[in-house]
Amino acid sequence: MSEEHIYEDPDILRELEDYVNSFQHNPLSNANKKYDEFENVTLNIAITGESGVGKSTFVNAIRGLTNEDDGAGETGVTETTMKAIRYNHPTMPNVYIWDFPGIGTPNFKAKKYLKAVHFDSYDFFIIIGSLRFTENDVMLAKAIKKMKRPFYFVRSKIDQDVHNETAKKKLTEEQVLSKIRQSCEESLKSLGNPKVFLISTFELEKYDFHDMIDSFANNLSKHKQSALIRSLPVCSLKMIEKKSIQLMIAAVPTALAACTTVAIPIPGVSVGCEIGIMQGFLQGSFSVFGHKPEVELRSMMKSRFAEGVNVDVVAKMMATPIMVVAKTFEAILCCVPLFGTAGALPIAFSTTLSLLIVGIAEMTEDAKAVYGRGLQPF
């Protein structure tokens, strides 16, 4: 999303309006609370299904990892534990992916399995199937529904099916996908034919991946939506745009939290605190886009962040003539009777937000350039 069009997005406008209204109601006390809601919200995603359907590979894929990367979940191993394995996200410490053991195996009968699941601990469940969905999958879905938790069906390994069916039976890709959807509808008709998302974990940009993510997000709070989108791998230009919008939204409470430092009466401390908050946010944004300050990518990244985010980069953003004037005006207002901190806050908020928006816009363009060269950052 280009910088000049950011305020045309309705979600960003709503968020901006909400936080501008905060200036009228104790902005100093509300700022950190609102910032914390965005930055420290937790998201717990449960991945389940029968053994061998590709759960661990899916867990790795949505964490932006291949099966061979450090920290990836083991694939193709015999499940021997009844406990779900929790995987932390590599760049989002409050996002957790839970890989459940296969339901219905000889070791884990379905009824015993359901008794062991603490449904309220998870924001939503993803039930994965490969060749077909089974009675155990339906039983699990009914149990999740009874506990009033969201669940989604994902049909994995679609790339393999398309390759095999088009080669052997001379079907088109659309014919194969239609055949798979019909099969899924038949096996899940007792649940009222819920939507099934067709996914290839090795080609996330294809098939139903984006529709699936939109469905997840629609049933989450805005803070959890933000955590979800920011945690996903850069798999398409569309995903880059989604991430950009969520970062623009998150920039609003960040700017509000940063600008409250104008209340600190010690000269220079306010600006130092503001730079620290901005640096933390921009470093997080850098990771959200999958950027890595590696030599082979620098030639494609045209922004000031090509070599990463550090104090010097952020300080230079604030050292432009316009920013120096704005910060000087803030300091003067803080000393003026009747105006004081309350008069300086709107200026600090708008200037800080504008810098964060500029940073996100530059990183967005870098991400598009890198992805356009076929080098997915993750």
Which of the residue ranges 80-84, 129-133, 193-197, 356-360 would you say has the lowest mean pLDDT? 80-84
Q: 65-92 burial by CB neighbour count: b if 16+ within 10 A, else e?
A: beeeeeebbeeeeebeeeebbebebbbb
Residue 78 has pLDDT above 90, yes or no: no
Give the residue, 259 or 63, on which the prediction is more confident. Answer: 63
Confidence of residue 12 (pLDDT cuts 50, 70, 90): low
Residue 55 has pLDDT above 90, yes or no: no
Q: Is 2.40.50.140 the CATH classification of the domain at 43-220?
A: no
Residue 269 has pLDDT above 50, yes or no: no
- Which pLDDT value is given to residue 150? 92
Residues 160-178: what's their mean pLDDT?
Answer: 85
| DSSP letter (8 states) at residue 101 | P
Residue 328 has pLDDT above 70, yes or no: no
Tell which residue, 287, 236, 235, 237, has the closest CA to residue 95. 287
Per cent of the chain over pLDDT 90 is 25
Model confidence, pTM: 0.82
Tell which residue, 292, 320, 318, has the closest CA to residue 305. 292
CA distances from 146 to 139, 150, 224 (A): 11, 10, 23
Contact 98, 47 (CB under 8 A): yes
- Which pLDDT value is given to residue 265? 45
Contact 309, 286 (CB under 8 A): yes
What rounded mean pLDDT belongs to the chain? 79
Residue 17 has pLDDT above 80, yes or no: no
| Residue 98 φ/ψ, nearest 5 degrees | -110, 120
Alpha-carbon distance 283 to 280, whole Å?
5
Annotated domain spans of the chain: 3-40+234-372, 43-220
Tell which residue, 229, 208, 210, 221, has the closest CA to residue 89. 229
Residue 319 has pLDDT above 70, yes or no: yes
Residue 351 has pLDDT above 50, yes or no: yes
Residue 105 has pLDDT above 80, yes or no: no
Residue 198 has pLDDT above 60, yes or no: yes
